[in-house]
Amino acid sequence: MKIRAWIISICILCSGSATGQSFQAFQKAADKSFQHKDYYAVLHYCRGALARKPEAVDTWYTYARAAQLFYAYEEAEKGYKRVLSLDRSNKFPDAAFQLALVYKGMGDYVAALAQFKSYQSEGATQENQQLEAHIESCQTALKDKNPSTYIVTPLSKRMNSAYSEFGAWKQGDTLYYSSYRYENKEDKARPKRKIAKVLYAVGNGRGRPLRNLNVDTLHTAHTAISLDGQRLYYTQCRFKEGAEIECTLYYRKKDRRRRWGKRAYRLPRDINSPNFTTTQPAIGYDSLMQKEVLYFVSDRPGAVGGLDIWWCTVESGENTFSTPKPYIGNTLQDEITPFVSSAEQRLYFSGDYAKGLGGFDVYEGPLGGSKSFERLPLGKVINSSYNDLYYHLNDPENRKGYLVSNRPGQRYLDRLSKACCNDIYTFEQIPVQDTSSNTEVDSSALDPSLTLEPLPKPDPDLSSSGENEREIIPSTLADFLPLALYFENDHPDPRTRRAKTRLDYLSTFDPYLEAEEDYVENYLKLFSAAEKEEAKVEMQQFFEQEVAFGGERLILFSNLLLQRLEEGDKVEIFVKGYTSPRAQSDYNLQLGKRRVSSLINHFRSFQAGVLRPYLQQKQLIISERSFGETTAAKTVSDDLSDRQRSVYSIDAARERRVEIVEVKRN
């Protein structure tokens, strides 16, 4: 059995390749991508097909369904409305029901309720009990006028990216979480698919991959720590077909240096059931049994169906566990992302039930040893109409913790994916107002209408310059300029004199980010003990605010470029390549050209070559202005023996770049 990749992360930005520009070629590519659950690619291929046949109802239905499954609800709404207007033979009788689900997913319960009832009155084909549950949930949501008792705030962009972050928990001042933004370097699919890695962030610093745990060819995610702190449980998953994956549970032990050891212990076969997925470990203490317990998610048979929660006790011995049992709260729908609150003796998990607010909602219930079960949904704003997952109560007494959601409003790659991807949020309970004294209270603080949607708390990470955490996505290509993209020393293709490379920019981007600690370590050798902390912050800010920022902006730029080309614009992009002055001028000239070549390759390979026809037809032109080292700052060292200054200094690192300096549109 296989698991849907969005259980690891909602956002999958890979696609197959269209074999031509005809309607049939786009439709065939869309159908193939749909089979592989690559919904982002489906949306773009359908748009290409619909540009050629705007009345193709089958394509509109595929577009709407893919958008719905990708959580691009605005596009799904548009698609289903077109299907309902074009489908005169009633080929797609469920379109009206799916449109109602889209409205519910958007939190528009008035429109959803009207659409569900209209569908019901016209002789609904959906199971009546399920339809009634959706109607009841919309009515309940509309009646609920109680203010939220929680404040939910997104983490800063040091942790949340335009891709998906998930599975956060904190130990001391270190936050552990997973991010689905890394390239599978040995993937045979074209383009290479993204994988997840486990990251850690100390204090308010940027997340960095956890050493010795991640593998460049597998998903690594979903960490949990044993009660004694000596074991780190985690999931590793491999792609099966398309976007489907199969997962296995492992753990590692701390070594003598108090680091996670290199040996991976695979959990026994009765936990890692062969040919089925086992994922999302959670550790806690069951006071009734007086034992440490392991909860996990699996699609194996023996429970109710779909993805179910299972549990077992952790016994004494190196790799010994009791026989797993299905959780008493499993249903025919999916139950995922369990969290054990040992202090409360409660299990928190997410389920996609018809009676919920929409998507996955967070629920709580008793631990597995209980003989009775009552499922209780958590209230607003913990639950929304979108997917709310990975609830982790870090401070039970003060009701503080972490939550993952794809609710809109955060960073995203383009308008199609603005509700696709998971971000990590903190939550905390609003203190109860003490009205027992005669102290005068501001009446506006007690007005429910003013507290339904609490404003996000100010982010302490933000500088005094007034930086806005909710980054505004540029609306024109010129708004991105100049767009600087950075490279490691002598990359791509070090120690060659070729003017071109086969690599694209993003394949060099991730390895450079992962080299940050090496740069910090060498850069600090230039400073005294009193200066080291400030220098460390400066280098970390360079990687975050310049290197990482540039790569993410390139993806945003490319998506907007595609939109402009689809609208018929002719675009010319002017690019400059730069180098640091470590090598001779003729070598640097070729290196600068290779860097420009890697950026051109990015545009050729972007979204499986969707821009290539525009390049071939000269609707998109990329013009090179390579300057080698000739404009390098005079403060940059060219001393080959002084690697700290000529390679690892921030001044030198800033010179190793390509810039998009100008865009012309006709």
Local mean pLDDT, 10-residue blocks, the chain (666 residues): 49 42 87 86 88 94 94 92 95 94 94 93 74 93 83 84 88 92 75 84 82 88 94 92 83 89 94 94 95 96 91 90 95 95 95 92 90 85 92 91 84 58 90 55 35 35 37 81 92 89 88 86 90 89 88 88 88 86 67 91 84 91 69 50 76 90 90
Residues forming CATH 2.115.10.20 domain(s) in the chain: 153-430
Which residue spans of the chain are classified as CATH 1.25.40.10? Answer: 3-143
pLDDT of residue 18: 45
Cα(269)–Cα(275) distance, rounded to whole angstroms?
Answer: 11
pLDDT at residue number 39: 85
Domain 3-143 annotated CATH 2.60.40.1510: no
CA–CA distance, 362 with 350 (Å, rounded to integer): 4
Sign of CA dihedral 137, 142, 147, 150: positive
The per-residue pLDDT for 416 is: 59
Listed residue (15, 645, 53, 72) closest to 412, CA to CA: 72
472-478's contacts with Cβ under 8 Å and 24+ in sequence apart are 473/412, 473/556, 474/556, 474/557, 474/560, 476/560, 477/557, 477/560, 477/561, 477/564, 477/571, 477/663, 477/665, 478/663
Q: Which two tokens stand for residue 574?
A: 């002017």
Q: Domain 153-430 carries which CATH code?
A: 2.115.10.20
Tokens 């390579």 correspond to 626
CA distance 398 to 393: 9
Give the CB-side neighbour count of residue 417, counting CA atoms within 13 A.
28
The torsion angle over the Cα atoms of residues 165, 166, 170 and 173, rounded to 10 degrees, is 0
